Amino acid sequence: MEVIPAIDLLDGNCVRLNQGDYHKVTQFSSNPKSQAIYWQKNGAKRLHLVDLNGAKTGNISNDEPILEISKSLQIPIQIGGGIRSIERAKQLLNYGIEKVILGTIAIEQPDLVIKLTNMYPGRIIIGIDAKDGKVATRGWITQSEINATDLAREISNQDIAAIISTDISTDGTLEGPNIESLRSIAEVSKVPVIASGGIGSIADLLSLIPLEEQGVKGVIVGRALYDKKFDLKNAQKALSSPRLQDFTKTNSYFA
């Protein structure tokens, strides 16, 4: 299972929200490019990038740091936030971004998602952000009546790369992932699922391992890394160790 560090951009800064609340912002860095390079140097195999301004309003305001990050890294980048048109998706892919993440338009413009997956097969990720099992859109501000599992079942029939399943109630809380929600998404999805939300410890990462056989192939980690609950190398080691029991006994984070 792959550990994917996250950078969330808000007004050009590297931040994290608590449960998707734009009024609960913690700034971690004013230099997202340096932060991205740091993750690459520390062993990241890919970077998860989110344009929070774009997610909230659909307006483009973080392209300067996005382009700087793309030019500075050798690892693949996946990006989401405010991608609601073919033109915007094409623009980001032309920046050198490997995959784009669609969220709101999967609900509001499903035909556009089909067009994009036909144009860029295997380069589109669908982000399903849910609270109490219902999909939220527009930067988690608007709550729909669509079941997350129904959307996952339907959307995974298309030529997409993966589904990112985010449980809004756990995101940024460090209180652990919503295992049942992840399992329900993975059980109906025909494509790999990436977990997001709630990771606060190595133990939380290990709790995802039983879901790997069901299709959960990656996990996005943000606040826990920034708050130094664990480091990226230890997280990767935890999920790749063939003898997890021995790892938990010897790793200091379990002391």
Pick the catalytic residue: 8, 51, 171, 204?
Answer: 8
Catalytic annotation present for 167: no
Indicate if 129 belongs to the active site. yes
Q: What share of the chain is helix, strand, coil (3-state, %, to 5)?
A: 40, 30, 30
Burial 77-115 (b: 16+ CB within 10 A, else e): bbbbbbbbeeebbebbbeeebbbbbbbbbbbeeeebbee
Largest CA distance in the chain: 51
Least Cα distance to 168 among 206, 140, 144, 145 occurs for 140
Taking the C-alpha atoms of residue 164 and residue 102, their distance in angstroms, rounded to an integer, is 10
The one-letter amino acid at 198: G
Task: Give the separation between CA 238 and CA 2, rounded to whole angstroms.
Answer: 10
**Cross-strand bridge partners of residue 162:** 125
* 69 Cβ contact list (under 8 Å, min separation 6): 7, 32, 33, 36, 47, 49, 77
Q: Give the C-alpha separation, 32 to 64, whole Å.
A: 10
Task: State the Rg of the chain over Cα.
Answer: 17
Catalytic, out of 51, 129, 167, 171: 129
Which amino acid is it at 41?
A: K
Q: Which residues are catalytic?
A: 8, 129
